Amino acid sequence: MIDAQSLSMHFGQVTALHDATFHVGQGEILGLLGPNGAGKSTIMKILTTYLRPSQGTAMVCGLDILKNPRKVREKIGYLPEHLPLYLNMEVGEYLTFVAQARGLSQSKVRERLDWVLTKTDLLPMFYRPIAQLSKGYRQRTALAQALIHDPEVIILDEPTTGLDPHQVLEIRNLIQELSQSKTILFSTHILHEVEAIAHRVVIISQGTIKAQGTVAELAMQANVRPWITMEIQKSSAEVLQALQQLSGVDQAYVIVEDGPWATIRIAALAPVSTLEQIFALCQAQNWPLRKLNLENPSLEKIFLALTRLDQAA
């Protein structure tokens, strides 16, 4: 549903985006993850035809953003970083205006208005002037305008900004519900936001895509491996010697020795099969085992590994 090919954006001598290529399929949630100023909003402005790229192009619902910008806009619901609100209008009045501007019939306006007001919990604010809304309710109103015309592609720039924890959870659930039939691209610099809802992640820093894929695929690209941790009642020297004989063990070292118990961390080339080898070894040797678990690398560790050089520059 979204195919970006070699997108670049230059503002004079400044390169805001360089050679960005990625794909988002129907029913998929793709998270753009990067620090502030990384190029996330630039990508979204290009895809929504607010900006014309210096190089490259993209297809949205089979339409070229350069050749068919108006048709592309019809397919997209967009929540920009700076909320597109008219503060002197009431919430219901504003959403009705947006729906009519999108070309919805009167009956369709009523149907979609009921839907978005319910899904974004804005019904109590229907007659409230937008200027009197809290930051969280303004965010929800802006999200409602992005959904009012039932778009095929939804592009959200920092969709949970200003929301309290309960509201964040509601919006996450709504995004996951929408992804059953729609394509969703959202940006954030909040790591746990991506972990919570994204099917795949694009990590971007200083205008360049550093990696993309599932969290497991990103870990491989960043060369950040999972660890196995074991707590065993046995001489750590004997256990380490035995572990080094296993085909799947890359390295092993002692973290803590507490009396007869030793806590050992193991880096494995094939974590799941190595876990099985270690368990079989302990059974065969009749070694008391108190803990044996696999610790997958966090997205935070992966992100820092992929962007460390950029942050040091």
The CATH number given to whatever domain includes residue 9 is 3.40.50.300
Tens of pLDDT, residue by residue, the chain (313 residues): 999 999 999 999 999 999 999 999 999 999 999 988 899 999 999 999 999 999 999 999 999 999 999 999 999 999 998 899 999 999 999 999 999 999 999 999 999 999 999 999 999 999 999 999 998 899 999 999 999 999 999 999 989 887 888 888 888 999 999 999 899 999 988 888 898 899 999 999 999 999 999 988 898 888 888 889 999 999 999 999 999 999 889 889 999 988 899 999 998 878 889 999 999 999 999 999 999 999 888 888 899 888 875 554 4
Q: Are residues 201 and 241 in the same domain?
A: no
- Amino acid identity for residue 262 in this structure: A
Q: Are residues 180 and 31 in the same domain?
A: yes
Is 310 inside a domain boundary?
no
pLDDT reported for residue 312:
46
Domain that holds residue 76: 2-221
DSSP category for residue 245: T
Residue 251 belongs to a domain with what CATH number? 3.30.70.1340
Domain-terminating residue out of 179, 197, 221 = 221
Q: Are residues 207 and 288 in the same domain?
A: no
- Cβ 204 vs Cβ 210: under 8 Å: yes
Taking the model in full, what pTM does it have? 0.84
Contacts for 300-304 with beta carbons within 8 Å, 24 or more apart?
Answer: 300/191, 301/224, 302/203, 302/215, 302/218, 302/219, 302/222, 302/224, 303/33, 303/191, 303/203
Is 311 inside a domain boundary?
no
Is 246 inside a domain boundary?
yes
Is 306 inside a domain boundary?
no
Q: Are residues 167 and 262 in the same domain?
A: no
72-9-201 Cα angle (round to 5): 70
Is 308 inside a domain boundary?
no
At 161, list the tokens: 């900004």
| Furthest-apart CA atoms within the chain: distance in Å | 78
CA gap 212, 253 in Å, rounded? 31
- Cβ 182 vs Cβ 153: under 8 Å: yes
pLDDT reported for residue 310:
58
pLDDT reported for residue 309:
55
Q: Are residues 136 and 43 in the same domain?
A: yes
pLDDT reported for residue 69:
96
At 163, list the tokens: 């929301």
Q: Are residues 126 and 259 in the same domain?
A: no
pLDDT reported for residue 313:
45
Q: Are residues 217 and 232 in the same domain?
A: no
Is 252 inside a domain boundary?
yes
> Does residue 260 sit in helix, strand or coil?
coil
Q: Are residues 121 and 37 in the same domain?
A: yes
Domain count, the chain: 2
